[in-house]
Amino acid sequence: MLQIYLTLIDTDEEKHKFIVFYEQYRKLMFYIAKEILKEDQLSEDAVQEAFLRIAKNFHKIDSVTSHKTKAFAVIITRNAAIDVYNKEKKIIEINQYLSETIEFESENFTENTSYEKLLGYILELPEIYRDVLYLNLVYDYQFNEIANLLGISAENARKRAQRGKKMLQKKINEELI
C-alpha cells in the first residue's frame, strides 16, 4: 500500500518524508481506528483511507516528528474511522430493514448484496418508486415526510414504497438465482 500512497506525492524528498511518517504513525493510526471500529478489517480500511487523505495533503506537513503532525494524523484517522463506521451502520440498517420487510428467496441476501449494488438496484427502478424508496431507505424519511417532499399523500408514498420493494425484491431474487 505504501507504494500507492507514494504515487500521490511529487518530490523524492517528500516521498522519503512520507515513508518516515508512515513508519512512525501507522500503529497509532490503527489503534485509533480500532478503538472506534472494534474490527481489524474495518480499522485497516479506515487507516488506508486516512493515509490516502494525508498523502494528498502531505505538502502541508513540515516536520514528521512534531506534536502538530501527530495531532493531524490522529484527527484524520479518527474522521476516516467515523466515516467507515457510519457507512457500515447505514449498510446494516438498510439490510436489516429490507430483510425485515421483503421476503427473499435466499437467506444470504445481506452477504451477497452490497450496499452499492442495492443502491444501484434502487436507482434502476422507475422514478416514482425509486424516489420514495431512496428517501425512505437511504435518508430515513418517514412516509408523511416523503409525501410532503413529493407533493403526494402519505398513503400514496406507502403504496409506492410497497410496489418499489416488490420490484426490488424481484431484481435481487433474479440475481441470486
Q: Which of these ranges, 33-47, 80-94, 145-159, has the smallest mean pLDDT? A: 80-94
Q: Residue 133: is it exposed, middle or buried by C-beta count within 10 angstroms (0-12/13-18/19+)?
A: buried
Instruction: Identify the band that residue 95 occupies on the pLDDT scale cut at 50, 70 and 90.
Output: low
pLDDT of residue 104: 45
Counted domains in the chain? 2
| Domain membership flag for residue 68 | yes
- 110 and 170, same structural domain? yes
Q: What is the model's pTM?
A: 0.56
- 83 and 8, same structural domain? yes
CA–CA dist 43, 154 (Å, integer) = 41
Which of the listed residues 60, 90, 120 is the one where a domain comes to its end?
90
| Domain membership flag for residue 99 | no
Q: Is the pLDDT of residue 148 over 90?
A: no
| Domain membership flag for residue 27 | yes
CA–CA dist 70, 110 (Å, integer) = 38
Residue 70 near residue 25, CB atoms below 8 Å: yes
pLDDT digits over 3-43, tens only? Answer: 787 777 888 888 899 899 999 999 999 999 999 999 999 99
Q: Is the pLDDT of residue 99 over 80?
A: no
Give percent above pLDDT 70 in the chain.
Answer: 84
Range of the domain at 116: 105-176
Which of the listed residues 45, 66, 90 is the one where a domain comes to its end?
90
Q: Is the pLDDT of residue 101 over 50?
A: yes
CATH classification at residue 164: 1.10.10.10
Q: Is the pLDDT of residue 100 over 70?
A: no
CA contacts within 13 A on the Cβ side of 44: 4
Mean pLDDT of 88-109: 58
CATH classification at residue 76: 1.10.1740.10
| Domain membership flag for residue 97 | no
Mean pLDDT of 64-70: 87
Which of the listed residues 90, 122, 143 is the one where a domain comes to its end?
90
Helix axes 12-37, 40-56, angle to 10 degrees: 150
CA contacts within 13 A on the Cβ side of 33: 27
pLDDT of residue 113: 52
